[in-house]
Amino acid sequence: MATETLGKSEGDPRVRRARVSELEVVRHHFDRAWDSLGLQEDARQIFWEPYREISVQIPIKLADGEMHVFHGFRIQHNGARGPYKGGMRFHPEVDIDEVRALASMMTWKTAVAGVPFGGAKGGVNVDTRGLKEHELEGIARALMDKISKLVGPNRDIPAPDIGTNAQTMAWLMDEFGKLNGHTPAVVTGKPISLEGSYGREAATGRGCVVMFEEAARKLDMDPEETTFMVQGFGNVGSWIARTMQGLGAKLIAVSDQDGAIHSEAGIDADDLIEHVHLQGGKLTDFAAAEEIDAGDFYELPCDVFFPAALGGMVHEDNASVFNFRLMVEGANNPTTFAADQILADKGVYVVPDLIANAGGVVVSYFEWVQNLQHFRWEEDAVNDMLQGVMRRTFGEVSSRAEKDGKSLREAAFEIGVSRVVEASRTRGYFS
C-alpha cells in the first residue's frame, strides 16, 4: 500500500495511510477466524486465494494527444454462495494486491449479510481528477470490452466504488449490452432512468447509520446528544453526515483529500453537500467552518467517528490520540490490526467494515432482484428492507461476540468464513 496522506499535512504521520497493506490486514483477520473455527488446514488456501484474476491493458488517447495505458483488474475471489459481486474502483493507487484484499472482503461481507453473492472487486489505476467525461467513458467502455466474457447477471456483477458512480455503471451496462442485448442486471448502482434502484445511492451511508443506532443502544447513547466526525466526504461520508443529522446528531468535523474543517457549533451537512458536491467547492473553503490542521483532526473529542475514506487510514500513529467512544467503519479496511488493538485497549466500541458498510451490497442485491423480475420497489420499501437486514446482521454478530467474548470484527469474520465454507462443502468443492 502506498503512503498517501489525507489532507495537507504530508509530513505528519497521523494523516498518512498505513504501511501495512490491506491484503496483510485481511489475511490476518481471515487466518484468525480460520484458526478459531478449527477448520482443516489443507483447505485454508482454497478459501484465501482468488478463484480467478483478470488483468487487462486499457490504452486510451487523452485530450493531451498522448496515448496513455492504464491497467485494469477484476478479481473473482469466491463464488460458492452465488454470482461474484463487488465494486469497480477508479483510483491512481489501485493495484492487484489492493483488489485482492477487497475481493476477499466482499466474499465474507455478503456471507455475513446473508445476501446470495460471492465476492469480487475490480479497478483501474487512473486518477479521474482532471479527466474529461468522454475520457472516463472511454476507459469504462474499454474495461467492459476486455472483461465482458467473464461478467454477467449470473456470473459477476460490478457496482460503483471510489472514483466511479451511476454514470460509470450506465456505460458499463451499455457496453455489455452491445454484445448481449439489454441486460440491466449486469451491474448495480445504475441511474434510476436505467433500471437502477431507489435508495441505492444512499445505501452504504444509511446502512452505517443503522449500525450506529444499534451500537448506540448498547452504549446508552442518545443520537440527539451525539457529536460525530466524518473522514472522507464522498458518497458514503456525505450520506452518513446527512442521515446522522436527520437523527439530531451534530457534525463537528470533516476531513478529505484537501484538508479538514471543524466547528463546535456544528456543520450543516446539507449546506456542506451543496458546497462540495453541487457547486464543486473545496471542503476547506466552506465558509461556515474553520479549516484546521489535518493531523489535529484526529485528536478532536467527539462521540462517534466514521472513517469513510481510503483503507489504512486508522493505524498506530493516530489511533492512540483518538478521543471518541464509538467508531463505525464506512470505508473498506480502514483499520490496521495494530490500531484495532489500540482501540480495544482504549475501550472504543468498533463496528467493523465487514458489517457496517454492507448497506451498499444489500441494496445492490435488491436492485439485481428488481432487474431480473422487471419490477421496482418504492424507496420507502427499499429503506425498510435495508434496515431489516442491517439490524438482523448486527444482532447476529453482536450476539456471537458477546457469547464468545470477542470483538465484533472477530465474530463477523467467523460468521462469514463459516458460511462460505459450509456452502462450499455442501456443493462438493472439498470434503
Residues belonging to the active site: 121
Distance in angstroms (rounded) separating the CA atoms of residues 105 and 122 = 13
Greatest Cα-to-Cα distance within the chain, rounded to the nearest angstrom? 62
Handedness of CA 148, 150, 153, 158 (dihedral sign): negative
Cβ density class 6-43: b for 16+ within 10 Å, e for less: bbbbeebebbbbbebbbbebbbbbbebbbebeeeeeeb
With beta carbons less than 8 A apart as the criterion, state whether 181 and 209 touch: no
Cell numbers representing residue 184 in the block: 440491466
d(CA 367, CA 185): 8
Tell me 124's DSSP state.
E
What DSSP string describes 341-410?
Answer: HHHHHHT-EEE-HHHHTTHHHHHHHHHHHHHHHT----HHHHHHHHHHHHHHHHHHHHHHHHHHT--HHH
